[in-house]
Amino acid sequence: MVFEYAPAPESRAVVDIRASYGLFVNGEFTEGHGEPFKSVNPADESVLADIARADESDVDRAVRAARTAFDKVWGPMPGRERAKYLYRIARLVQERSRELAVLESIDNGKPIRESRDVDVPLVAAWFFYYAGWADKLGHAGFGPDPKPVGVAGQVIPWNFPLLMLAWKIAPALACGNTVVLKPAETTPLTALLFADICRQAELPPGVVNIVTGAGETGRALVAHEGIDKVAFTGSTEVGRQIARTLAGTGRKLTLELGGKAANIVYEDAALDQAVEGIVNGIFFNQGHVCCAGSRLLVQESVAGEVLERLKARMATLRVGDPLDKNTDIGAINSAAQLARIEELSQAGEREGADRWSPPCELPSQGFWFAPTIFTGVAQSHRIAREEIFGPVLSVLTFRTPDEAVTKANNTPYGLSAGIWTEKGSRILWTAQRLRAGVVWANTFNKFDPASPFGGYKESGFGREGGRHGLEAYLNA
Amino acid sequence: MWLYFLSMHPGKTQVSGFQTGRPARQRPEAGTTAPLRWLSGFVPGAWFGDAWGVSTETLNSAAELRAFLHGLPGVDRVGAEERAARLATRSIKTTAKAAAIDLAISMVDLTTLEGADTPGKVRALCAKAAHPDPADASVPKVAAVCVYPDMVDVAVRSLDGTGIGVASVATAFPSGRAPMEAKLADTRAAVAAGAAEIDMVIDRGAFLAGDYAKVFDEIVAVKDACGDAHLKVILETGELATYDNVRRASWLAMRAGADFIKTSTGKVSPAATLPVTLVMLEAVRDYRAATGRQVGVKPAGGIRTTKDAIKYLVLVNETAGPDWLTPEWFRLGASSVLNDLLMQRRKLATGVYSGPDYFTLD
């Protein structure tokens, strides 16, 4: 029998999207002085709202508000008091989780299953976790009484809009800093809803400021002289520009950039679970994941078998309406990103790799890309070297563990890697040799606030999450 | 590759010798998946057991059976449980739910396995099986009624003309701790009384002790005693404990000739779980890909609500595939789930819930 799942859309009634949004500065929504821009639903290209654009004067206003709040309120406040606000925010995120999840899926295009089961619960977990550190900073290993840095300028990407906000804001606030955060221009809505949560939590004005805009707003923010620390998550190219801007200024900087992670499947792996891990590694969040397992390195002796199973599994992936509770793969976030994925996929074909996608019908409106694998990929192909940031997997093979490690490390990036084997000693042997900030064994794309995350080489520097994540926000 | 090598030398020593007159396995039916499809190293068992219509004699020794079972890919516990849990979040609504409820009802093996079973109790259950909801003739009948061997006769007479089969547990159910002669006598008695399906239990003690050949031979012998009756092999996964064991026991049972593999007796906790059923569904999928022979799956015990039942159907749909979504290839061993299915069915049709007293308790 053919078992068709009827549409099971999550209700949009829970969110109230306003026609226009201002900047959140000093505890209030204010006008921006730049030309407003539009945020679009990538699933159907409908306009969601007009968003204020912050120019230099707006950024300056936000930084000054943050400075005042740091000097007068947040910096001097005892850690145990700051913790109360953070716990309150965490609880409000939980209370409003459905609203946040639906809005995230509408603005970003990710499936509701992921925003509901992954993004929003992790956001709450991040605030709970760092709330716990706020009054224990003297025990974090950075001296008996480490001091906050001051005002943090934070620029975050569009792939996990709310989660990246939490990764940035929670440790900053726990350590006693105030922040000016710029969400990505294609996904500002949940950050603005978070601003409302800050008000609901009665967070003192100026502690969290949110300025919306595109690249020039971000440039104005990171270059502002009133900023003591810059945290950026995004492309390696922009990360380089920021590093140049900050060179010699003495301001602290952490960068979390791109990746081209190897997911290594040894012949003795638990194959069904490895296939799940491959799927989660590359198709989670449409592959818009800096640590995505975008290079599958599979041992030649099981390559045919793994591919056979992978293709059968991919044929069950459900692509479509992000708000449908049964959707596995949602929309590509923007036309620009879709164009990049298409360009690199075409390059893959031109360079001689074999392209395959399961039969799947894509909606006619919106930005969509079918889950795709390339086999017969060589290290020299662009699709093996460049970050595609989409649901495209490059499959390479190896013969020996040494070769696996060599190929895995042969990339300018070094953010994450995966190892699949039932043999514990092989996990340890491989992990010790991989130059990647995060190595997952027999799982992939797992995140926890207690676990530090960050890259080697062109994937950036500094660690976010865990005790290590406090360091960037403390003058230790 | 040793498997390939051995397959070139059929007819060596048998696994063990207590069973004689072992029938040759049937060739895979025409029209099923081409046996060659995934042979490129996918499933070593392709060359063995009942695959290719080769009799089980090609299994050369207990050591080879053991090596084969231990050579199966492992199951990662965390990953398997995560996958099952994720599939359990599928949202099945409206028309899909209505179709799923009817399908689930048609897959129920309505079961009574109590020491206190009486002919009256069995007759009542059979009446329920034929007309689950007396108020609504559009409700499908269940797949089978499952009873102890001494109640088969009563059940067969009660179900005469309904098209519903009688399944009987046998082989010293539920523990299986009896002499082989007793297990076979148990089986033959049930078949003689008219059971169309036999639910046997494996010797978990022998399995856990690593004596796979003993388990294998017992299944072969019971299969022989079944004659035309279908054989369901109960693995009692709650006692096998690990998913690796579940996968090995599944392959062992399939290669010994099982028509169905079944999770549990219902007498041991945990009974059926989603991850265990996932592993078994992967096994039947791989086995068919390797041999062309399709084997059914039956989770039993602990399935109480419509939600539970639908989760199993989703699991089947996205693991083994739609080919298994019929009562011929998938069963739900349960009894209390039936009334919940009926209640949800009426709720979908009328928009309101009827109280439990509007559904019969048999």
Q: Which residues of B touch A302 (CB under 8 A)?
A: 41
The DSSP bridge partners found for residue A9 are: A324
Distance between CA B116 and CA B154 in Å, rounded? 15
Query: Mean pLDDT of successive 10-residue segments in chain B (362 residues)?
Result: 34 39 40 36 41 48 94 97 98 97 98 97 97 94 97 98 97 96 98 98 98 97 97 98 98 98 97 98 98 98 97 98 98 95 96 93 88
The three-state secondary structure class of A80 is helix
Q: Which of A268, A270, A305 sits opposite B75 (nearest CB)?
A: A270
Residues of chain A with pLDDT under 70: none
And the tokens for B62?
């207990």
DSSP H or E run through A424: helix A424-433
And the tokens for A173?
């606030």
A11–B contact, CB cutoff 8 A = no
Q: Where are the alpha helices (DSSP H) in A25-119?
A: 56-69, 79-95, 97-108, 112-114
CATH number 3.30.1330.10 given to A262-441: no
Contact A405, A304 (CB under 8 A): no
Q: Which of B42, B79, B90 sits opposite A277 (nearest CB)?
A: B79
The DSSP bridge partners found for residue A25 are: A28
Q: Say whether B322 and A2 touch across the interface (CB within 8 A).
A: yes
For A368-403, what is each residue's pLDDT tens digit?
Answer: 999 999 999 999 999 999 999 999 999 999 999 999
Peptide bond before residue B174 is cis, with ω within 30 degrees of 0:
yes
Distant-in-sequence, close-in-space partners of A76: CB < 8 Å, separation ≥ 6: none
Nearest to A204 by CA among A68, A62, A22, A79: A68
The three-state secondary structure class of A11 is coil
The distance of B189 to chain A (nearest Cα, Å) reads 35
Distance between CA B237 and CA A245 in Å, rounded? 62
Residue in chain B closest to A2 (alpha carbons) equals B322
CB atoms within 10 A of CB A73: 15
Q: Which residues of A touch B75 (CB under 8 A)?
A: 270, 272-273
Q: Provide the residue ranges of all domains of chain B, joining segments of one domain with +.
A: 77-350
Chain centre to alpha carbon of residue A348: 25
Peptide bond before residue A358 is cis, with ω within 30 degrees of 0:
no
Q: Could you say which DSSP state residue A338 is in?
A: H
Angstrom CA distances, B204 to A139, B182, B311, stand at 53, 17, 28
The distance of B181 to chain A (nearest Cα, Å) reads 39
Nearest to B245 by CA among B295, B301, B285, B204: B204
And the tokens for B314?
């989703």
- Residue A476's pLDDT is 78
Q: Could you say which DSSP state residue A246 is in?
A: H
Task: Note whether ipTM > 0.85 here.
Answer: yes
> How far from each other are the two terminal CA atoms of chain B, in whole angstroms?
56
Q: Where in chain A is the domain with CATH 3.40.309.10?
A: 262-441
User: Starting at the edge strand that comes first in sequence, how are the strands of the sheet with A34-40 ordered?
Assistant: A20-21, A47-53, A34-40
- Residue B60's pLDDT is 65
And the tokens for A471?
């360091």
Q: Which residues of B touch A308 (CB under 8 A)?
A: 38, 42
Q: Which residues of B touch A3 (CB under 8 A)?
A: 96, 99-100, 103, 313-314, 317, 322, 325
Distant-in-sequence, close-in-space partners of A326: CB < 8 Å, separation ≥ 6: A5, A8, A113, A318, B90, B91
Q: Which residues of A touch B325 (CB under 8 A)?
A: 1-3
DSSP H or E run through A47: strand A47-53
- Residue B59's pLDDT is 55
Residue reference for tokens 């099952």: B84
Q: Where in chain A is the domain with CATH 3.40.605.10?
A: 20-257+456-475
A442–B contact, CB cutoff 8 A = yes
Angstrom CA distances, A6 to A106, B84, B91, B92, B103, stand at 20, 20, 9, 7, 15
Thinking of the domain B77-350, which architecture would CATH place it in? Alpha-Beta Barrel (3.20)
Q: For chain B, what is the HEC assignment? A: CHHHHHHCCCCCCCCCCCCCCCCCCCCCCCCCCCCCCCCCCCCHHHHCCCHHHCCHHHCCCHHHHHHHHHCCCCCCHHHHHHHHHHHCCCCCCHHHHHHHHHHHHHHEEEECCCCCCCHHHHHHHHHHHHCCCCCCCCCCCCCEEEECHHHHHHHHHHCCCCCCEEEEECCCCCCCCCCHHHHHHHHHHHHHCCCCEEEEECCHHHHHCCCHHHHHHHHHHHHHHHCCCEEEEECCHHHHCCHHHHHHHHHHHHHCCCCEEECCCCCCCCCCCHHHHHHHHHHHHHHHHHHCCCCEEECECCCCCHHHHHHHHHHHHHHCCHHHCCCCCECEEECHHHHHHHHHHHHHHHCCCCCHHHCCCC
Nearest to A273 by CA among A429, A441, A117: A441
Interface of B with A (CB under 8 A): 38, 40-42, 73-76, 78-80, 82-83, 89-97, 99-100, 103, 282, 313-314, 317-318, 322, 325-326
Distance between CA B171 and CA B206 in Å, rounded? 15
CB atoms within 10 A of CB B205: 14
Thinking of the domain A20-257+456-475, which architecture would CATH place it in? 3-Layer(aba) Sandwich (3.40)
Distance between CA A434 and CA B336 in Å, rounded? 53
Q: What are phi and psi of A447, to 5 degrees?
A: -130, 145
Chain centre to alpha carbon of residue A115: 12
And the tokens for A150?
């001051």
The three-state secondary structure class of A29 is strand
Distance between CA B229 and CA B198 in Å, rounded? 7
And the tokens for A279?
């799927």
